[in-house]
Chain A
Amino acid sequence: MGETHSLEERFQAYVDAENKVEPKDWMPEKYRKTLIRQISQHAHSEVVGMLPEANWITRAPSLRSKLILLAKVQDEAGHGLYLYSAAETLGADREDMIKDLLSGKAKYSSIFNYPTISWADMGAIGWLVDGAAIANQVMLCRTSYGPYARAMVRICKEESFHQRQGYEIMMQLARGSEEQKAMAQDALNRWWWPSIMMFGPRDEDSPNSAQSMKWKIKRKSNDELRQEFIDKTVPQAEFIGLTIPDPDLKWNEEKGQYDYGEINWEEFYQVIKGNGPCNAQRLAARQKAYDDGKWIREAANAYAEKESKRKAEKVA
């Protein structure tokens, strides 16, 4: 017992000194498990997050916008790969992680359970959803686990590009015809609250946060990140003449921050529990890709085995 205690103390001192934890370093079991959960759910979010946007690739209204959207969704698949690799450095198995996603045991970001019902949603997702993701990920560039921090540095570069592209779509719509402007406002109305829910529960309702902050996995609290996001995003909406759908939103001179209305936490917890508008469809799509892909993965494995046998025979 005494020795375990001292290992944990040494670990804490190590992260307190802003050192990065690497795969072969000793780490508390709970630190490892927390990270596997967080990184794999982050990976799943990238993969499930491809679906709402992929929904509009075939309908993108210009060839340029089609190309940009395709490239973006492809980047997300790549982010998924980085993150699965990062989780694997902690001893997790990608196949198991995917099974946990499909069974509903592992979560993914609540935002991807909302439907994309107009082209403007591509703008709103890029601007708001990627914007919220970036706020979170910029913080994670300084997370204490080395492979996760390095994945975040690479991912953030691409994400900020996506966010600018999303804002560009919104700007184009907001400055377009009356119909386009209405489309943009409608998308903002539907995506605003789900986006600020992305930061998770209120600090007082987020029981794991304290330990994660202590281990420097998280560097800022949910509410801190949410506030920063709101303060940054409100002027962007004003700049293009769109209205944030929150009657309680107002600048607080004293704090130097925006006050904002109450989040619908009932909706948030329902979505997390699997009862959002698209939870069933998103998982069904992933399950179908997995099931339909079975014979292809088996073929690739069988062929690889035959090839290595043939090579071995050649050498002999």
Chain B
Amino acid sequence: MNNSDLYEYTLRLGDTALILGQRLSEWCGHGPVLEQDIALTNIALDQIGQARQFLQYAAELKGGDTTEDSLAYHRDAHQFRNLLLVEQDNGHWGDTLARQFFFDTYNYFLFERLMKSSDERISSIAQKAMKEITYHAQWSAEWIIRLGDGTEESHDKIQKSINDIWMWTGEMLEADELDLRMHEAGIGVDLTEVTALWNDKVDEILKLATLEKPESAQHQRGGKRGVHSEKLGYVLAEMQHIPKSYPNSKW
């Protein structure tokens, strides 16, 4: 396994966790009830925590004076490797939940496999994160059911959220060259396996929620190789503003 593949792969995991954490933290103080404000902030916290672990590892792989912060704050959009799904707007609570449910379900099966990665560092990060991700997946699935099988209004709203976010979900399930090489090396995972499990789980939850799974198989891809949607630039402008304004300062 060459080092640059491992670095790229670790960046993908770190960047996805970071950008989702960043998005979720926008909710802090604005949730529909205090308990759910806490729940979502808690998930944001877990995501940022996971991002730090992967980015610390990536920084070590890169060497030199690279740090988690230089990776987070001094790369531009084309150098970010996060999934397109996680950079999408929060929208309303239902939009956030739809994004979270599809992501958490994927993340659960992904990390379940990453725990067995032949790369010790990745497997140990995954083992630690698994408890958190299990909670996230349970929480977001419960909310999909609650909104789908709640009132007529909530049913229609969450159905629309699901339809709207759907085009961004395919990328995470689609293996590219790097995914295949990493799987072959025993470090990454078999995404066909994850896809099958993801589909079964999504079907099960949507059925309980009395919701329809969108039929379109068309989806957008590009995040994993740095070709992002128009959203990411704004996320980064906000996130990186201070370190870029004062590049030689410590915080």
Contact = CB atoms under 8 A, between A and B. Distances in A.
A177 B249 contact: yes
Interface in A79-95: 80-81, 84
Interface stretch (B38-46, B101-109, B159-167): B38-46
A65 B150 CA distance: 38
Contacts of A177: 246, 248-249
A74 B42 contact: yes
A59 B28 contact: no
Nearest to A78: B38
B28 A289 contact: no
Interface stretch (B119-127, B133-141, B172-180, B235-243): B235-243
A62 B32 CA distance: 28
Nearest to B238: A58
B145 interface: yes
Contacts, number: 138
A254 interface: no
Contacts of A180: 246, 249
B141 to A, nearest CB: 13
Interface string B3-47: 000000000000000100010011011111111111001101100
Given A61-B251, A70-B44, A288 B52 contact: no
A292 interface: yes
A293 B31 contact: yes
B110 interface: no
Interface residue tally on B, bucketed by range: 35 or more
B232 to A, nearest CB: 14
Interface stretch (B65-73, B76-84, B194-202, B216-224): B65-73
Nearest to B158: A299
B48 interface: yes
Given A300-B146, A303-B149, A59 B238 contact: yes
Contact of A65 (B34, B249, B251): B251
A77 B25 contact: no
B206 to A, nearest CB: 15
Nearest to B69: A62
A293 B41 contact: no
B41 A77 contact: yes
A296 B93 contact: yes
B92 interface: yes
A119 B251 contact: yes
Given A59-B238, A59-B242, A303-B145, A77 B38 contact: yes
Nearest to A169: B251
A116 to B, nearest CB: 12
Contact of A73 (B28, B32, B241): B28
Nearest to A47: B34
Given A77-B34, A176-B250, A292-B92, A70 B25 contact: yes
Contacts of B150: 298-300, 302-303
Nearest to B209: A303
B229 interface: no
Interface stretch (A18-26, A49-57, A186-194, A225-233): A49-57
A249 interface: no
A179 B249 contact: yes
Contacts of A292: 30, 32, 92-93
Interface string A37-74: 00000000001001100100111111111110011011
Contacts of A62: 69, 73, 243, 251
B225 interface: no
Given A61-B242, A61-B251, A177-B246, A302 B28 contact: no
From B18, B28, B69, residue with most partner A Cβ within 10 Å: B28
Interface string B90-106: 00111000000000000
A210 interface: no
B154 A299 contact: yes
A285 interface: yes
Contacts of A293: 31-33, 93
B48 A61 contact: no
A172 B251 contact: yes
Contacts of B181: none
B2 interface: no
Nearest to A50: B29
A67 B41 contact: no
Interface of B: 18, 22, 25-26, 28-38, 41-42, 44-45, 48-49, 51-52, 55, 68-69, 72-73, 92-94, 145-147, 149-151, 153-154, 157, 238-239, 241-243, 246, 248-251
